[in-house]
Structures are given as structure tokens and as C-alpha cells.
Structure 1
């Protein structure tokens, strides 16, 4: 999901380069301002969600910059920095910030994370009304396993207990963690993610706990760690099963005492943070093989949550396809009409080892390559056809369900399509009469025809 870019505006190229390099290293998409470019055109064309700007230079570009920028993107967040005397005493609206020079990059990153969280909260407040099947943070599903998951998330969010989220790669463990945070009493603060598998071992302690100036070569200034950044909020420890044994000991101490020592410091700092951990590994097996500390495992798994793999909730596949298709088709301004019934059946029959992430990537690829028309099985890569070539979906008979099971959503849609086709065939394409046969309003039938984009064997193009 594209969270938008960060726009750096300053007439001092050294400051722009420093901020850009720092935030790019932290994984953000950063766009530095070039003085011959139009600021507002850049915000419009490059999907800018956050602007970081030197306040006095910004005033020379547009005295009412914030108001003009928010006309382009109402969710845009402005982070001003400058000399204390130049900073505005009040910024109207939520989630707009100021920092004084000299700029502390760690504080800047904290504000960026707070800005991201504020934007997520605003989006989540409208999402359920628009898509009832979408949970607060974007998790989608109407299957029973997902409804059970949503209920568990709502219950867990009410407490401050440590949560361990388990599930295969690509199932949406981070989305579940964000949903817990958004529903909790800590949602006015940030959720700080840490990928334990992506950080080198020698940097992990400094990344989690921070360090003081001079504590090691290259420590030119004090730096806040992720625990300090997440104070009063939530710390999400992703891929916790990859954390090395020496760091497991130090993490256990923080969980027990709620305090930590920055690298090179002799003073402990208290912290009020909720821990949510996630892993695609079986920690119980790792405990048995001595690859994961048993005491840490029990500290983390106060409330365990398991995200079901996509193959165990196949009825959600058409819903997920529709959601991803609408996003990518709109973002790329393509004219793809949708997925044929046969294509959806193929995808319902696939085992999805990469889970929802694999499905999302596939839909994006198909929309990019197709550009127009209907996506058919011929557009699918071979592996999505080779596992089990789908047989035509039919209604269950007295013989019961087929041994290999059935995609319920596809079967229900096929049944509806057949009834519509039969009604139109009998009425020779007269929609008013066909609607009467189906006990529908004519406008309802027409809306269904537009949505389904059906073509029947009797050559009725609908």
C-alpha cells in the first residue's frame, strides 16, 4: 500500500540532502525540492502526504502554504522547522508540527511516524462505512475464520497485555497489529515497527534502546531507540523468531522491569509501551530446540493470535480480488473491466503459499499488463493453472459437494448469473420483463448487469 511521499523544502541544499539521506535510510520515500519546480504541482503529482519545510523559506514560497496544500490533499501533514523565533506559535488543525534548529533527526522521525499514524486513523474512521467487510486497518474478509479474528482483535485491544501474532508470511500480521493499536487506548500515540530480521545483529541493541554520544565509533550524538519512540504507544516487533539469543535476554529484562539502558549509558530509563510481537516461525518448536528462550516466549505469548492462511479462507478470495483490483485499476487509470468467472475460479483453487501478499502482487501485475478488457485464465501465469485446472462451478446436487470442495462465492454468483441469463433469454432481452420474472426492480437488474459485465451464450451482450 502506497502511504505517499515526504517532500523536503529548504533553500539550504545541505539541510535537504541531510534530511533526505536520513529518512531514505529509514525506509521512507523522500522527494527533495528543486527550486525550479512548482511546489504545489509536485504535491499534486507525486502523492505527497507529508511536507517537511524550513519555515522562513516556506513563507517566501506561499504565505498561506498550509491552506493551499491542504486544498490539494486534505490529509497532508506539515512539519515546520527553523529558529525558535520564526516558528508559528499555533498551527490550526490536527497533526501539524514544529521543530526548532538545530534539527534533531530522531525527533523528526518520531514526528513523521506520528503523522503517518494520524493519517491512518483518519482513513480508518471512514473505511468501515465504505466497505463493511474491511476491518479497521485494512484487513478484509467475511469468512468465519476472519470474523473470529476480528472479534479477538477487538477484545485484545481493550487491554494492555502483550500479544504474540503468529501466521505464515503474507497473511497480514502487521495489519492485525495496527488494528489492535488503532482500537486501543494508545491510539493517539504511535505504533513503532521493528523488523528484527532486517536489522544487523551489531545494530539491534542501539536500534531498540538507543545510544549516547561517544558510546561507539560513529556515535556522534545521542540517539533515541525504538522503545523510547514508542513510549505511551505500541512497539511492534516483527519477525521476533529471528532475534538472536543475546538480544532475547535484554528484551526479556525490558518486558519484566519496563526499563532499559541506552548503549553506553549507566542510567536506566522507564518506558510505558505495549509490546506486540509477530513471527512466521513456530516458537514452541524453537523453545524445544533451545533456539528461543522459554521465559521470553511466555512473556510474549500472554495473548496469542493466529492469522489464518488464505487457503483456509478461500471464500474471501473474490472479495480480496475485487478490493485489490479497484485500487490498482484506479491508481493506474486503466480501463480493465474485471476478472472473468473462470479466472476467479482458477484463483480460488490455487493454494496461495504467499497468502494475501501473493494475491495482491498478482492482481497488480495483471492490471498493469492488461490495461483494458477482461482478465481471463489466459492472462494468468502457468503456476496458477497447473495445480488444479478448475472445473465449471455448479450447484450442489443430491450427490453432495465434490470431494475437492467448492468456492462458495463463485458458486452463488454463477447461480445468480444463470438465473439472469435464463430470464433475459426467455424475454428476448427485455430487461423490464426479465426483472419481473426475477422479482427485481428494473433499475436493480440494470445495476447488476453493469457490475457483472456479463456476456451470455445467447449473444445477449449485457
Structure 2
């Protein structure tokens, strides 16, 4: 969908030039030459972004910005522009809710970069708003362990301090990160996730700090005003860790290739599956960054330590897949539930979720008994997606995802979790494979552990 931009400028020549440039870039553009026209067009057109000049004949841009932001009726980004700008004006504009401030004479490249970043940020915020409506409101389970963890999150959220989450793969670190954000004082801000494992140091720099010349928006900037969740923090390159710490302490960062600092107001939640003491001793996690992040530690225990929650988890995921993926409803017998309560769950809650999905897809009976559980828990007898015709009853997208997940998990098991070897075996470029694994929520390290 083409973004609609409203340009508010009292100089017709400048307005026409901006309109021509933006239309060449594929945007839809409208022009207002004064504050009154700007108000009217904003109400009628509901633009996706406003470029707002400070000096106009009937009202200045700062006053108009205050009016729009104070009304609460518009939430799209506003970029201030002025030929008389200074640092005080820029600070005042951003304090009042402007996305950014650009000076005249306008640099075409900077203007386009700022507009694209602002639109990307707005899109991300809308996406997060939608996710908040459809995600689990809180971690499941009424065991003493889970009850205590939820109470701990309440205490954590009395302050917007950094949090370091530890726990085994699949135990629910991402869920708790989202739960912390959704119940924090900045819940209306974006929640941005960055998964570090498997990324090269160059890609880590680009993802975290962006790349000015290619208009690659930094994760730090995307998360401004909200939460940045960094998964696998101990797998982050030492130089990236040092630069991240510097940015957090100075509350600003410099995008790669840029000379302009971007103010930073972000809460960081970091997670690791490594034992923290071992990660520090081995130098995987830098001490200075650890002390910055570990203001409030949160340890998520493995599923085997709160197995009394398993019946509730089973019921939840059965209903989830029935309602969201139209899979047939199946009921776990008491014997089947008891068997699963006594299983070690090396893959934790993620393994339980995948097991439920597999049983619903491949099973034929209404009941899931203990014999079927035993077969499913035995790797040699686990049915492959193509080994049972029920996969052909699925929509193409779901069937393809099931096959790809099982296929790639098998390949990772065969090579001990080595992603480079899998890329060579299956004929995929390594970067594309990493993206595929993240999309399918496959942890290479966990897949290598599952090989018996």
C-alpha cells in the first residue's frame, strides 16, 4: 500500500520540489501552504506521515505539533523541517512528539532515509499493537514456581530497569520477555526482538546499529520508546557487546556510516541459555555489559521442575491448534498425561508444544493414549510428515512448514547442529538458512541435543 505524505510548507517552490521527489519514490503526496490548510487536509486525508515546516504565516509548526499531539487523535509520525533550525528547536520538537528534525536546505538522501525509517517505525508499532491483542497474556501454570515467577515480574515492573533472563532453550524466555513488556510502564511502546545466535559479527553490527547508507533501520532505533529483547546475548561478538554498552550508558547511538547520533530511550531485556557464571568465565559475556544488564536477574526453570503444570499446558496447546490451525480436537487420557508428567522434556515447553501439534496432525483417534505417547517419544518411531497421509489434508502453507521443520531438524541432528554443514548438504545459502531456522523457531543447538 502506497504511503500518503502531507507536506506543510509556506514556500510553494519548496513544497512542489518535495512533492516531485517523493512522488518519484512512489509516495502519494499532498501539500498545505499554511496551518489552516494543514489541519483540514490532516482531518480529510489521514496521511501516513507529515513533513511540517516550523515557520508559516498563520501558525508556527511547533504550536501545530503541540495541537496534534495533545489531541491524541493522530498517531502517525511527524517530521519537523526548518531553515532556521537549531539544537534547541530540534530538542523541543522531539520532546513534543516529533519523530525527527531535518534542516533546510534539505538533503534529499537524508529526507528519504528519515521518512522511510519513520514509516517503518510506525508500521512496527502497529504490528506490536496487533500482537498484543493476540498473544498469551501471561505464562501458563499454577504451580508454586510459576506463581512465584509472575509475582517476581510484578516487582520487576515497578521500574523500567534492564532484565537478564536465564534458562534452558525452550523454557519460555521469549514469552517472559513479552510478558514483562506487556505489563510494564512502557507497554504502549514497541517490542523489538533480536536473535543473535548464528549471526556473523558484521550482521550483528548491522542489525543492532543499522546501516545509514543502505537505509537499514537499526533494532535500537526500532525499539526506541519501548523494549529491545536480545536473545542469546552471550553469543554476541565482543566488539558488538562493547558498543552496545556504550550506547546504553550514553543513551544515544551512531548508526553505521552516519555522523549523527540518535537519542536512545530503550529498555533492554536480554536472555541466554548459557550458565551465566560459565559465560563470564569463558569471556562469552563481557563483565561490564553483564553488570549493566543484570540489575534484575530472572531465571526460568526447565519444565521438568514444574511438571504439575503439564496438564494445563497440554489443554492450552490443543485448544490453540484447534482454533488457530483448524486441527482436529483430541483428548489426552489420564495415563497419557501422567506419562508426560514423568518425561524429562529436554526441549521444555517448546518440545511440548511441538509434540501436541504433531499428535493432532498425525493422529486418527479422538483420544491420545499412553501407547501413542510412547511411540511419539521414541525417535526411531516418530512418523515423518510424508509418512502419514494426514499431512495432505493440511493447507499448503502448514504442510510445507511441517515438512521443512522436520526436514531441517533431521539435518541438524545428523551434523551435530552445524548450520554451515546443513547449508552445504541442503543447497541453501547460509544466511537464507539462518532466516529459515528463525522463522520456523528451530534452535540448532537444541536440535543437535535431540539426537539419541
TM over 0.5: yes
Are the structure 2 counterparts of residues 98 and 327 from structure 1 closer, same or farther at C-alpha, using a change threshold of 3 Å?
same
Q: Return the match for 2:297 from 301, 304, 309.
A: 304
Hey, what's the Cα distance between the residues in 2 that align with 1:327 and 1:94?
Answer: 35
Hey, what's the Cα distance between the residues in 1 that align with 2:143 and 2:265?
Answer: 36
* 8 Å CA contact retained: 2:253, 2:263: yes
Secondary structure of 1:164 counterpart: strand
Hey, what's the Cα distance between the residues in 1 that align with 2:45 and 2:284?
Answer: 53
Is 2:144 aligned against 1:144?
Answer: yes
The answer for the alignment partner of 1:349 in structure 2 is 342
- List gaps (5 residues or longer) in structure 1: 1-52, 57-80, 128-135, 214-218, 387-462
Hey, what's the Cα distance between the residues in 2 that align with 1:182 and 1:316?
Answer: 23
The answer for the alignment partner of 1:444 in structure 2 is none
- List gaps (5 residues or longer) in structure 2: 5-25, 31-40, 49-71, 80-110, 380-452
Is 2:369 aligned against 1:369?
Answer: no
Q: Return the match for 1:327 from 297, 307, 320.
A: 320
The answer for the alignment partner of 1:266 in structure 2 is 259
Hey, what's the Cα distance between the residues in 2 that align with 1:175 and 1:95?
Answer: 31
Q: Return the match for 2:133 from 122, 134, 145.
A: 122
* 8 Å CA contact retained: 1:346, 1:384: no
Hey, what's the Cα distance between the residues in 1 that align with 2:241 and 2:77?
Answer: 37
| CA apart distance, 1:198 | 4.0
Hey, what's the Cα distance between the residues in 1 that align with 2:230 and 2:332?
Answer: 37
| CA apart distance, 1:106 | 4.2
Hey, what's the Cα distance between the residues in 1 that align with 2:78 and 2:180?
Answer: 30
| CA apart distance, 1:120 | 2.9
The answer for the alignment partner of 1:441 in structure 2 is none
Is 2:239 aligned against 1:228?
Answer: no
The answer for the alignment partner of 2:212 in structure 1 is 212
Are the structure 2 counterparts of residues 97 and 363 from structure 1 closer, same or farther at C-alpha, using a change threshold of 3 Å?
farther
For residues 297-336 of structure 1, give each alpha carbon's deviation from its aligned partner in whole angstroms, at most 9, with x where no partner exists. Answer: 1111110000111000000000000000111123343443
Are the structure 2 counterparts of residues 347 and 184 from structure 1 closer, same or farther at C-alpha, using a change threshold of 3 Å?
same
* 8 Å CA contact retained: 1:195, 1:239: yes
| CA apart distance, 1:105 | 5.1
Hey, what's the Cα distance between the residues in 1 that align with 2:256 and 2:345?
Answer: 43
Secondary structure of 2:225 counterpart: coil
Hey, what's the Cα distance between the residues in 1 that align with 2:154 and 2:77?
Answer: 34
Is 2:83 aligned against 1:90?
Answer: no
The answer for the alignment partner of 2:200 in structure 1 is 200
Is 2:178 aligned against 1:178?
Answer: yes
The answer for the alignment partner of 1:16 in structure 2 is none
Secondary structure of 2:366 counterpart: strand
Q: How does 1:55-94 map to 2 (within 5 A)?
A: 82-85=27-30, 89-90=45-46
Hey, what's the Cα distance between the residues in 1 that align with 2:151 and 2:192?
Answer: 24
Hey, what's the Cα distance between the residues in 1 that align with 2:45 and 2:288?
Answer: 49
RMSD value, Cα: 3.0
Deviates more, 1:141-150 or 1:263-272: 263-272
For residues 62-119 of structure 1, give each alpha carbon's deviation from its aligned partner in whole angstroms, at most 9, with x where no partner exists. Answer: xxxxxxxxxxxxxxxxxxx941229963389999869999796544442332122212
Secondary structure of 1:336 counterpart: coil
Q: How many residues align?
A: 292
* 8 Å CA contact retained: 1:233, 1:272: yes
Hey, what's the Cα distance between the residues in 2 that align with 1:176 and 1:230?
Answer: 17
Are the structure 2 counterparts of residues 84 and 141 from structure 1 closer, same or farther at C-alpha, using a change threshold of 3 Å?
same
Are the structure 2 counterparts of residues 277 and 187 from structure 1 closer, same or farther at C-alpha, using a change threshold of 3 Å?
same
Are the structure 2 counterparts of residues 332 and 236 from structure 1 closer, same or farther at C-alpha, using a change threshold of 3 Å?
closer
